[in-house]
Amino acid sequence: MLGRRPTVAGPAETNHAPLTAPGATRAMEAVLERVLEARLRQARDTDAVFALDMADRLAAYVRRGGKRLRTAFMWCGWRAAGGSGDASAVLRTGAALELLQACALIHDDVMDGSPLRRGAPAMHVDFARGHLARGPGGSAESAHGHPAGRAGGSAESFGTSAAVLAGDLALAWADDLLTETALASPHGPRLFEEWRAMRTEMVAGQYRDLRAQASGSSGAEEALTIAVLKSARYTVARPLALGASLAGADARTLGALRAAGRCAGLAFQLRDDLLGAFGDPALTGKPADEDLRARKLTPLLAVAVRLAETTGDRDAAAVLAPDAGARPGHTVERMRAALERTGARAEVEARIADLAASGLRHFEATGAAAGVRREFAALVERASGVAPQQAEELV
C-alpha cells in the first residue's frame, strides 16, 4: 500500500482551485511544462543522443497539445466530490494523464499505420523520416557535433521500433509522476487504484480493437465493449473518478460519476467514429477515411451492418462486409454512402444526443454545485458535438 510522504510539488503548483475547467487545464499545462523540463534534464544526464533523438521529440509531441479533455473532466470529478483549496495533486494527475495519452496515441498510430496525428507526422513517421535524412552519405550530425554516420536498414522498421520506445518512455514518465503524486496525497491508495484500473482497461480495449479487426467482426456487442474500454472509461469515467478520489469521494458520488462518465464517454466515442468517417482532416488532424479503409469495428459500422441486413440492402451489406485486403478509395466512398443510406449515421447522431443527456442527469445526482454542473455540460457538448438535452435514459 502506498504511504504518504512530503509533497513533491513546487511552490507554483500549490495554488487554490482554479475556478473553471479551462482554468484548470491552463494550470495543468504549466505543471506539465515543468515536468517535461525535469524529464529532459534527466534524459540529457542519461545519454545525449537519447535525449536529442527521443526525449526531445517526445516532449515536442506532448507540447503540441490536443483536446486536454481528461484533465478537464478530472477537475469536474474533483469539484463534484467537494474538492477545493490546494489543487496541486489534481494538476499533477492531469499532467500524468496527458503523458499517458501520448503513450496511447503513439502506440495506436503504430498499430493502425496512421501517417498523421494532431496535424503533423505521426511519431513513427517522424522517426522514419529522420532515419532517411541520415541515409547513406547523409551529413546529419550527432549530438556530439560529429557526423552521425550512415543510416542502414529499413526506415519504416526503424521508425516503428523507435516510436514504440517513445510510447514506452511516455508511459514511464506518466507512471513516475502519478506515483510521486499518490505518495504525497492522503488519498494516494485510492488514486493509484483508479490509475491502475485505467491502464489495464486501455490495453484491454486496444487488444479487443485489434482482435475484432483481424477477425472481421461486425458484432454490435463487441463494438460497444471496445468503445467502453478504449474510450468511454479512459476518456471520461476514469478521469472523473481520479478527480473524485483526490477529494475522498463517497461511494454514492463515485457511482454517479462512473455512470455519467460512461454515458458522456460513449457519446464522445460515437462522435469520434462519425468524424473518422465523415470529418475534415484539416479540423481533426488525422485522415478522414482511415477507419473505413481498415474496416475498423465501431458502433457506427455495427449499426450500419445491422440496418443493411434488416432492410435487405444487399449493396450496403456487401460493401460493409469484411474482405481480405485494403480498400481502395472508391470502395471507401461506397462505404460512406452506405452509412448514410442505411440510416446508421442518423441513428448514431440520435444516440449521441441521448447519451449526452443521460450523462448530465447522472452528474446532477452527485449534488454538485450549479457552476460545476455547467462546466460538465460544456465539456460534454465539446466532446460529443451536441448541446445535451434531457431525454429518457437509455443506458
Tens digit of each residue's pLDDT (9 = 90 or more) over 237-261: 999 999 999 999 999 999 999 999 9
Q: What is the largest CA-CA distance in the chain?
A: 67
| Segment 92-119 mean pLDDT | 93
375: its cell numbers: 462546466
What percentage of the chain reaches a pLDDT higher than 90? 75
Q: Which helix (H) or strand (E) holds 116?
A: strand 116-117
Does pLDDT of 328 surpass 70? no
Q: Are 358 and 348 in contact (CB under 8 A)?
A: no
Bridge partners, residue 117, by sequence: 120
Given a cut of 80, whether residue 287 has pLDDT beyond it is no
Per the CB < 8 A criterion, the answer to whether 123 and 129 are in contact is no
pLDDT digits (tens, 9 = 90+) for 18-35: 679 999 999 999 999 999
What is the model's pLDDT at position 30? 96
CA atoms within 13 A on the CB side of 48: 7
Cα 254 to Cα 183: distance, rounded to the nearest angstrom: 22
Residue 17: predicted pLDDT = 63
For the record, the C-alpha cell of 174 comes out as: 506518466
> What is the band of 144 on the pLDDT scale with cuts at 50, 70, 90?
very low
Question: What angle is formed at CA 365 by the lines to CA 359 and CA 367, rounded to 5 degrees?
Answer: 125
- Residue 385 sits at φ, ψ, to 5 deg, of 80, 10
Closest of 375, 64, 45 to residue 243, by C-alpha? 375
User: Rounded to an integer, what distance in angstroms lies between the CA atom of residue 301 and that of residue 108?
Assistant: 20
Q: Are 101 and 71 in contact (CB under 8 A)?
A: no
Higher-scoring residue by pLDDT: 133, 333: 333
Contact 189, 181 (CB under 8 A): no
Residues 259 and 372 sit within 8 Å (Cβ to Cβ): no
- CB atoms under 10 Å from CB of 139, counted, come to 8
- Note the pLDDT of residue 15: 55
Report the share of the chain in percent with pLDDT over 70. Answer: 86
Annotate 41-56 with b (16+ C-beta within 10 A) or e (fewer): eebeeeeeeebebbbb
Length reported for the chain? 395
Residue that wins the pLDDT comparison between 112 and 7: 112
**Angle in degrees, CA 9, 244, 208, rounded to 5:** 100
pLDDT at 378: 96
